[in-house]
Amino acid sequence: MKRKLAVIALGGNALVGEGQQGTIAEQFENVRRSLDGIIYCLKQGFEVVITHGNGPQVGNLLLMVEASRNQIPELTLGVCVADTEGAIGYMIQQSLTNRLRKEGIDRCVVTVLTQVIVDKHDKAFSNPTKPIGPFFTREEADRFRREKGWNIAEDSHRGYRRVVASPNPLKVVEERAVKTLLEAGGIVIAAGGGGIPVVMKEDGDLEGIDVVIDKDLASAVLARDIKAHCLIMLTGVEHVFLNFKQPNEQALSRLTAKEAQKYLHEGHFPPGSMGPKIQAAMNFLNWGGELVVITSIDKVKGALNGLTGTNIIKNI
């Protein structure tokens, strides 16, 4: 039987748990705890590509950039994304390699620094809303607006933060490399943090741009490009819910893409939480994917067997 391909998107809680400082030791331990579902998929005959978030790590790196201002050359946001994609890939790669050895599975793991193309005319560029980096005082915010041309907005009355655009991902540049590594029997880590955002210039050259790409939307694009069967998005909750954290909260175990679209339109899935995952699920299924699973990191086995989690399928 032909082996199937799954893209597994690790959420932020796979690396930094609630209430943790986010030390490297904590991140390694959290990664090791998140591997059971990946191992289960491999034992069920899936080829696996792993994606991951990088929000806390990019935030910390930008804090370092601010702390060293006027001492060393400043790093761009795109380079910070690339740095964290490599660092997190290393943590997952080493941890999974060790686990595979203990499980008696002879497979190599490789991290691909992944560029993701966005449209330089995307309407998101005219409405930057994604907060990144440290908080500033009003005076600092005014100065950075003048000196750097940054867009800065007040963030929940806690101070001011730089905001950047979050355009839709269009294509993974390293698609062929990922496919080649899979064909050679590798387990691939790619599109970390949504990938390194780039635009294509008129002459065909790629150029980095200081925006961020949603990790789940990028995972769906990668899954489409490599013709994955299944997209598994792991997060901090076991199910997708209607009326989340309300008295009439309802866990969803199975729904179609059409039903997901309806609930999204009704406002059940906010942009800052479940919204991007539902949009990514609908995109993937509309592009030809067969199954989307959304669940917590420790429930992959049950979710793939229909015992828990939320399965989203094509319209019947």
Domain positions in the chain are 5-118+169-313, 128-164
Q: What is the mean pLDDT of residues 270-278?
A: 85
Residue type, 202: E
Q: What is the DSSP string of 143-160?
A: HHHHHH--EEEE-TTS-E
Residue 178 pLDDT greater than 90, yes or no: yes
Report which listed range, 11-20, 122-131, 179-188, is most confident.
Answer: 179-188
- What confidence category does residue 3 fall into, taking pLDDT thresholds of 50, 70 and 90? low
277 is catalytic: yes
The pLDDT assigned to 316 comes to 67
In tens, the pLDDT along 134-171 reads: 778 889 889 888 988 888 988 766 788 888 899 999 99
Asked if 130 is an active-site residue, the reply is: yes
Q: What's the mean pLDDT in 84-93? A: 96
pTM for the predicted model, two decimal places: 0.91
At 1, is the pLDDT very low, low, confident or very high (cuts 50, 70, 90)? very low
Judge whether 104 counts as a catalytic residue. Answer: no
Q: Looking at the chain, list the stretches that DSSP marks H as alpha helix, in order from N- to C-terminal side.
A: 24-33, 36-43, 55-67, 77-103, 138-148, 175-183, 215-225, 257-265, 275-286, 300-304
CA distance 166 to 11: 18
- CA distances (Å), origin 285, targets 186, 210, 278, 288: 25, 29, 11, 5
Tokens of 192: 């970390």
Question: How far apart are alpha carbons 100 and 93 in whole angstroms?
Answer: 10
Average pLDDT over residues 190-197: 96
Query: Which tokens sit at 85?
Result: 């994609």
What is the reported pLDDT for 13? 67
Cα torsion at 218, 165, 91, 183 (round to 10°)? 20
Question: Of these residues, 11, 54, 192, 215, which one is catalytic?
Answer: 215
Give tens-digit pLDDT for 111-141.
999 999 999 999 999 988 888 777 788 898 8
What mean pLDDT, rounded, does the chain reach?
A: 91
User: What CA–CA distance (Å, rounded) separates 185 from 119?
Assistant: 33
Q: How many whole angstroms separate alpha carbon 111 and alpha carbon 18?
A: 26
Average the pLDDT over each of 57-61, 203-207, 218-222 and give the range with the smallest value: 57-61
Question: Which fold does the domain 5-118+169-313 belong to in CATH?
Answer: Carbamate kinase (3.40.1160)
Catalytic residue among 13, 30, 283, 311: 13
Q: Is the distance from CB of 132 to CB of 194 less than 8 angstroms? A: no
Cα distances (Å, whole numbers) of residue 83 to 25, 79, 128, 136:
18, 6, 23, 23
Alpha-carbon distances of 103 from 53, 99, 238, rounded to whole Å: 26, 6, 26
262 catalytic residue (yes or no): no
13 classed as catalytic: yes
Write down the catalytic residue from 53, 55, 130, 311: 130
Which of 53, 195, 277, 309 is catalytic? The answer is 277
- Provide the pairing of β-strand 130-136 with 160-164: antiparallel
Q: Are 111 and 93 in contact (CB under 8 A)?
A: yes
Half-sphere exposure of 43 (CA within 13 A, CB side): 13
